[in-house]
Amino acid sequence: MNELELIETIRRRAGRPFRAGMLAGIGDDCAVFRPSPKRGDLVFTTDLLLEEVHFRPATHSAADVGHKALARGLSDIAAMGGRPVFCLVSLAVPDWAGARWIGGFYRGLLSLARAHRTLLAGGDLARARQFACDIIVCGLVPRGAALRRDTARAGDEIWVSGLLGGSALGLALGRGAAWARHRRPAPRIALGVSLRRLGATSAMDLSDGLSLDLHRLARESGVAAAIDRPLPVFHGATLEQALHGGEDYELVFTVPPGRKIPGRLHGVPLTRLGTMVAGESGAVWFFGRRLPRRGYDHFRAGATPGASARRA
């Protein structure tokens, strides 16, 4: 299969542009999108998915990899309280990934895309030694309503969605419900929209572990975070996995003090963790003790390709 044939296959599978406003998709130099003036702000995210860093060809199916590549981008859209509109996919393909594997990759990706009404509108293809996928997702939020990281205030309550540590546990076990969760994370799109409507003051998604991601949220907002309630730990996971394990793709968010938040929304449990407090910007306190940042840092001394796959 040559490049033109491969692009034709992808274009056929992606289908005709079905979103209002998408004027041109796969096949031109650019995708063309006409924003509706009534529909608000656009949000954009880009996320890499790398062989040995974010998945292993031996244990993750092609469809798993396609699902996860898009799920990472959709999770960022969810963290802004947005709804996805379209995505672009850049793919660097090594020799071990033949036409059948690439077909499986797009099957996994497009299945998740359809479930979230996200159009595959374009991308790029190249050969490489190491598999790399970069996913770009464009989403919509009402004007001025995007949930940001830098808008939490001292006194706000800190909440988290779902159960933590499941992805890290799944990676360690390689089987069962936790493994399914690691392979096929569920982006919290509907939840993000509801949290925005409930008046959340900030939000971000948990990709690198609660300890590191909550630090980032607190630091961008110029406050400290104090956790003083039990974490919602995934069944069988350790507290370490729940605190520092990456790739749970849940949402951590803040709400004004006393705001009524349901215990479960769109089938996902919501748990209060603690309170944003004045103090050293970015500090995270766990039952009164300083929490070390042990989430995954790609550029930490000693971090090497593959380390993320052992990030728990």
Binding region for a second copy (CB under 8 A) out of 27-35, 182-190, 221-229, 236-244: 27-35
Contacts to a second copy from residues 96-135, by CB under 8 A? 121-130, 132, 134
In the complex, the smallest distance separating the C-beta of residue 243 from a second copy, rounded to whole angstroms, is 18
The conformational region for residue 81 under phi > 0 = left, psi -120 to 50 = alpha, else beta, is left
The conformational region for residue 113 under phi > 0 = left, psi -120 to 50 = alpha, else beta, is alpha
- Determine the length of the chain: 312
**Four-point Cα dihedral 156, 157, 163, 164, nearest 10:** 60
Q: Which of 173, 252, 179 is nearest to 211 (CA)?
A: 252
Say how far apart CA 118 and CA 231 lie, in whole Å: 33
Question: Among residues 39 and 114, whose Cβ is nearest to a second copy?
Answer: 39
In the complex, the smallest distance separating the C-beta of residue 260 from a second copy, rounded to whole angstroms, is 25
Q: Is residue 154 close enough to count as binding a second copy by CB under 8 A?
A: no
In the complex, the smallest distance separating the C-beta of residue 102 from a second copy, rounded to whole angstroms, is 9
Question: Among residues 94 and 269, whose Cβ is nearest to a second copy?
Answer: 94
The binding track of 35-54 with respect to a second copy, each residue x by CB under 8 A or -, is x-x--xxxxxxxxx-x-xxx
Which of 9, 11, 13, 24 forms a contact with a second copy (CB under 8 A)? 24
Which of 138, 158, 168, 171 forms a contact with a second copy (CB under 8 A)? 138
Q: Is residue 23 close enough to count as binding a second copy by CB under 8 A?
A: yes
Q: Is residue 65 close enough to count as binding a second copy by CB under 8 A?
A: no
Which of 16, 34, 260, 289 forms a contact with a second copy (CB under 8 A)? 34
* Structure tokens that stand for 259 in this block: 């705001």
HSE-CB of 145 using CA atoms within 13 angstroms: 19
Which of 120, 146, 164, 276 forms a contact with a second copy (CB under 8 A)? 146
Question: In this structure, which long-range contacts are made by residues 95-99, counting pairs with CB atoms below 8 Å and at least 24 apart in sequence?
Answer: 95/127, 96/57, 96/131, 97/57, 97/62, 97/131, 99/1, 99/6
Total residues in contact with a second copy, by rule CB under 8 A: 75
Say how far apart CA 92 and CA 45 lie, in whole Å: 19
* CB distance 269 to 183 below 8 Å: no
Binding region for a second copy (CB under 8 A) out of 77-85, 177-185, 193-201, 284-292: 77-85
* Residue 130 identity (one-letter amino acid): Q
Q: Is residue 82 close enough to count as binding a second copy by CB under 8 A?
A: yes
* Structure tokens that stand for 267 in this block: 């089938």
Which of 60, 69, 70, 76 forms a contact with a second copy (CB under 8 A)? 76
Contacts to a second copy from residues 262-301, by CB under 8 A? 297-301
Question: Among residues 141 and 160, whose Cβ is nearest to a second copy?
Answer: 141
In the complex, the smallest distance separating the C-beta of residue 263 from a second copy, rounded to whole angstroms, is 25
Contacts to a second copy from residues 185-214, by CB under 8 A? 204-205
The vertex-153 CA angle with 80 and 284, nearest 5°, equals 90
